[in-house]
Amino acid sequence: MLEQINTSLIDWSRAQFALTAMYHWLFVPLTLGLALLMGIMETLYVATGKECWKHYTKFWMKIFGINFVIGVATGLILEFEFGTNWSNYSWFVGDIFGAPLAIEGILAFFLEATFVAVMFFGWGRVGKRFHLVSTWLTGVGAAISAWWILVANSWMQHPVGMTFNPDTMRNEMQAAGSFWEVAFSDVAVVKFFHTVLSCWVLGAAFVVGVACWYLLKKRHERMALASIKIAAAFGLFSSLVVAMTGDTSAYQVARTQPMKLAAIEGLYDGGTRQGLTAIGVLNPSKERHDDGVEPFLFEWKMPYALSFLATRDADGYVPGINDIIAGGYTQPDGTTALSAAEKMDRGREALAALGAYREARQNGDRQAADEILPRLEDNVKYLGYGYIEDTAQLVPDVPLNFYAFRVMVGLGCYFILFFAVVLFLACKRRLAGVRWMQWVGLWTIPLAYIAGQAGWIVAEVGRQPWAIQDLLPVNAAISAVSTGSVRTTFFLFLAVFTFVLAAGICIVVRIIRKGPEQSTSNA
């Protein structure tokens, strides 16, 4: 019964955090994307002196403001949930994980809050150049804020720069240089560029879509075409860079989170010269131990592509789910992978040694504690595995990861084609007469949001059951709160967030319908 209660609590806590994160991510990408667009348009205003660019900037700035406010509100709730729902997590790694969040709040958010007021209310009150600097610094502040949040998330995906202190029961930074190892790890750098540029893609898609609506309605066509040219250009650039960073990210996942890669590929039994499944339908009857059941009902693979993606060698070895559970294969660092059962045994050994060490310390028996410490240090790397009860827990949801990944990648390819076609038509001055493309532009807006949500599903669900990869599972990270309270707040948040989302959409739609100032926006 206790296990059922704990499982229910974990599920509801994860659902609540996922709910908050998904709503939060509806507003953040557009904020980051519009910040760049506003900066470019206001730069054109200051450089050319044309009032039309000022009015275009102010129009998009209104939509930015709505998303900025709601994004901040949902983000604050998200950070509070680490203390309310995941207090063991916060205790265990708070010395490391809390550092980037603190910097984000003190530095980045302060920068945004300072200059966003000048940006909105400084028109005519401060000089043009100072206002332009304020607009750019607001965008820079938003990007810096994203940097530190993504540093924290990247550390959850690939923890570095820490050591476990058995006296405090906490992971702590090893030395002064460890902070920079956390802040500028390879995973963090790639994740930042991949995520922020995907936000630029969404911002570009939103601007192109809204502008296409104006073309369909034959309103504000001058503003619409000018916005489309700028948005499509940086949307195409961003889409191409997102594809490149996505390739690097997949390579990093193969080295640091092989189970995630196996799940998103539906790869149960690995090997060399593995193909990448471009299109496929998973067999719902497939279980991990069913060797006679094919994992796919249908699939089309790109030969050797997965091996090259994961190892940079077309002949490279990629482990599948069963291989990772069984162990025995050679890892990228040249060592032989332990089986899941061996890791679990060593994790339980680490927990036993930790308990004995702390008991000796409490009894004042320093000699006994010192004798136990080497046993703990030898196995502490696998401490989190001591909380895993069944190897099946180590396998994330394969169908959800498989399909979410293909939605994300498929839409990424679509955006490259979409922005290239839109930019071509706009530069040739033919877009205003191609109504079907205007409808495509309008309906591309929701596709950009779907791609972003799919990407986060892969990142977070693919890491399960780990709150911190290979270090702390979710069943050890949870707070000791009642399931009922978490369930109640889940539905409360669902109602509040849905109301806020609906209100935000209504306000944005009203701003779009009104459009920019009539005196200078029409051709």
The domains of the chain are located at 267-320
Cis, bond preceding 258 (omega within 30 deg of 0): no
Encoding tokens for residue 507? 């306000």
Return the CA Rg of the chain: 25
User: What is the distance between the alpha carbons of residues 86 and 91, in angstroms, rounded to a whole number?
Assistant: 9
Instruction: State residue 2's pLDDT score.
Output: 37
CB 295 within 8 A of CB 268: yes
- Mean pLDDT of each 10-residue bin along the chain, 523 residues long: 60 93 93 94 94 93 92 86 89 87 79 86 91 93 91 93 88 77 92 95 97 94 94 96 95 95 94 93 83 86 94 94 93 91 95 93 89 91 93 93 96 97 94 93 96 95 93 91 92 95 95 78 40
pLDDT digits (tens, 9 = 90+) for 374-415: 999 999 999 999 999 999 999 999 999 999 999 999 999 999
User: What is the distance between the alpha carbons of residues 209 and 198, in angstroms, rounded to a whole number?
Assistant: 16
Instruction: State residue 6's pLDDT score.
Output: 65
Alpha-carbon distances, residue 395 vs 148, 261, 321, 338, 342 (angstroms): 29, 11, 7, 16, 16
DSSP, collapsed to helix, strand or coil, labels residue 473 as strand
Instruction: State residue 323's pLDDT score.
Output: 94
Q: How far apart are the first and last CA of the chain?
A: 70
Count the neighbouring beta carbons within 10 Å of the beta carbon of residue 257: 21
Q: Give burial (CB, 10 Å; 0-12/13-18/19+) of 63.
A: buried
User: What is the distance between the alpha carbons of residues 236 and 420, in angstroms, rounded to a whole number?
Assistant: 6
User: What is the distance between the alpha carbons of residues 324 and 222, in angstroms, rounded to a whole number?
Assistant: 57
- Ordered DSSP codes for 316-328: -EE--HHHHHH--
Nearest residue to 189 (alpha-carbon basis) of 156, 158, 154, 159: 154
Name 359's bridge partners.
none
CB 211 within 8 A of CB 231: yes
CB 169 within 8 A of CB 481: no
> Going by C-beta distance under 8 Å and a sequence separation of 6 or more, which residues neighbour residue 380?
164, 350, 354
φ/ψ of 163, rounded to 5, equals -140, 150
Kindly tell me the sign of the dihedral angle through the C-alpha atoms of 378, 384, 388, 394: negative
